[in-house]
Amino acid sequence: MSGPGTGSRAQVWLARTARAVSGFAVLGLVVLVVVAGARFPGAGTDTVATTEIAVPPTASTLVCAGPLIQPDDTGRGDSAFDPTPVEPVSTVTVLTSVPDRDARSAATVAPLDRSAVTATLPGGGGATVVPDVAGPQVVRAEPGTAPARVAAASAGLVTAGDLRGLAAASCQQPTADAWLLGGATDLTSTAQLVLSNAGSTPAEVTLAIWGPSGPVDLSGERFLVAPGAQRVVVLGGIAAEQRRLAVHVSATGGRVGAHVQDSAIDGFTPAGTELVVPGAAPARRQVVPGLAVVDSTVGDLSAPSLRLLAPGDTGTTATVTLLGPTGVTELPGAESVTLVPGEVTDVPLGGLPAGAYTAVVDADQPVLASAVLTRPGSVGELDDVPSVERAWAASTAVGRSGVVAVPSGTRGTLVAGAVATGTDPTAGGPATATLRLLGADGRVLAERRLRLDAGSTGAWSVDQLATGSGDLAVTELGSGPSVPAGVVGVDLVTEEDAEVAIAWALVAEADRPDGVLVSVLDPVPVPHTTPDVAVREDPRLGTR
């Protein structure tokens, strides 16, 4: 027997069931409409043609360092001890490489504030040397049918005094993130960070600095760099008494060029002046090319060395492989290096046989790497020890095409290493690349096929390269006759995604009566071509 209210409860239940069923029906209808709309966005969609839109290449901008910064004390009461007895000779060499004459690319050189035009390079390739540079310069290369293959090099040549040396570097593309590994701020050294803003907006720069004892406390200091202006930060003022330095530059609001002017003295004897330029960001593998070393002994304080840093919170053990002319060169004590997190470490390379090398650093944590080369000088009339010339070599990307300019008044040597991209940097077949030697008018004087066995490093003067013939391998290059002056640049075209890739740099040297002056220049990378974009009209948009 049914109790009171039974019928009303059944009616409520039936009503709720009907509402639920209708809700599911509405939901199913919505899903059906959405799916149908996704599959059939509109009548005739399949007949709308797809159009390939070419993305034009953008202009290339390079920032070139200005003249060397002079010491504050320009005299010490006696001209014999004047730290700057001669004025630096400052030049900028600019070139554009245009193998295809139809891919014309013009370039201009101007001061950092763009207040005037210092020099111009016509379309179709060319080169120029800007003498007596009074400040930082900006190179802007307009693209042709492809991105501009442009390079520039700034050089400061000082033949006497505290700044004696060749301080040359490739002009760099502005960046918001730069890692510089080199220099010192102890009593015998001076390090000055130079920030150049070639953009149209202010750039706010923050710094992180590491030394031999770990990170340096900078108390969150920030540096504003105005558009078209340069700012110099004396690193000894914010990170004093650091025998080894690493600097991370982070910029917001704009991009900057950054380098460290590093100079050292031994008493009154110059011990080298050089520009420390940005290297590769922290990674588990770092490759440092361009290690052209002369004979040295173990324990020699002026011998070349490798600088390493694990910038994170975790330490690691770095494995160092030195790729020489005949393969891996063993150097006892340098193969495995324990890195304490945040502490900058130098690995001496004294005793390494004279020759050209590529350093490969592998670790299970991201690390930074660079190297310093040396050239012994002679003993001056007032010196107790011989002068020393130094050059910093930065880590670079492997297998990237690029162009490098030979600084005015120097002789260039190409140093290239073949590095396998797998776990073993020496495993695999030979690496190959197309090499072009460029003349003063941008013309290709000679084109060669460079071939290197995996795990080896070769070195050739640009004169040898220009006068050689056929395939170039380490064992096939003779001395060759010297070519007339006119080789102003090297353009290397590598194979993309090769299993064995080439890492390279240009070693520039200037012969002086009291010794050889040297710098290592990285190639300026060529921008990648942006692929075409496929687009088509959506008939649901707009009106007809």
User: 308: which 2 tokens?
Assistant: 């390493």
62 vs 503: CA distance, rounded Å: 21
pLDDT of 381 strictly over 80? no
Residue 295: what are its φ and ψ, rounded to 5°? -60, 140
Higher confidence at residue 56 or residue 393? Answer: 393
pLDDT digits (tens, 9 = 90+) for 228-241: 999 999 999 999 99
Closest to 515 (Cα-Cα) out of 237, 85, 165? 165
Cβ neighbourhood burial of 204 (10 Å; 0-12, 13-18, 19+): middle
Neighbouring-strand partners of residue 524: 403
Looking from the CA of 198 toward its CB, the CA atoms found within 13 Å total 26
pLDDT band at 531 (very low <50, low <70, confident <90, very high): low
pTM of the model: 0.85
For residues 199 and 177, give the distance between their C-alpha atoms in angstroms, rounded to a whole number. Answer: 15
Alpha-carbon distance of 101 to 96, in angstroms, equals 12
Nearest alpha carbon to residue 309 among 236, 370, 225, 265: 370
Nearest Cα to Cα of residue 468 among 455, 484, 452, 450: 450
Alpha helices in 158-285 (DSSP H): 235-238
* Helix H or strand E segment including 270: strand 269-276
Mean pLDDT in residue range 364-368: 98
Enter the DSSP assignment of 175: B
Residue linked to tokens 């590994």: 181
> Mean pLDDT for the chain?
84
544 Cβ contact partners less than 8 Å away, ≥ 6 residues apart:
none
Determine the average pLDDT of the residues in 25-32: 45
**DSSP states of 82-150:** -S-SS--EEEEEEEEE-SSTTS---EEEEETT--S--EEE-TT-EEEEE-S--S-EEEEE--SSS--EE
Report d(CA 272, CA 277) in Å as an integer.
16
CB atoms within 10 A of CB 497: 8
189 DSSP β-pair partners = 264
Tens of pLDDT, residues 192-217: 999 999 999 999 999 999 999 999 99
Rounded CA-CA distance 456/316 in Å is 26
pLDDT at 332: 83
Number of residues in the chain: 544
Q: Which pLDDT does position 334 carry in this prediction?
A: 85
Instruction: Residue 299: count other Cβ atoms within 10 Å of its Cβ.
Output: 9
Q: Calculate mean pLDDT across residues 478-505.
A: 77
- What value does the mean pLDDT take over residues 221-227? 94
Query: Encoding tokens for residue 177?
Result: 């993130």
C-alpha 394, offset from chain centre? 7
- Report how far residue 24's alpha carbon sits from residue 29's, in angstroms, rounded to the nearest whole number: 9
* Per-residue pLDDT reduced to its tens digit, 277-328: 999 999 999 999 999 999 998 888 889 999 999 999 999 999 999 999 999 9
DSSP code string of 9-31: HHHHHHHHHHHHHHHHHHHHHHH
**Residue 260 · residue 490 · CB < 8 Å:** no
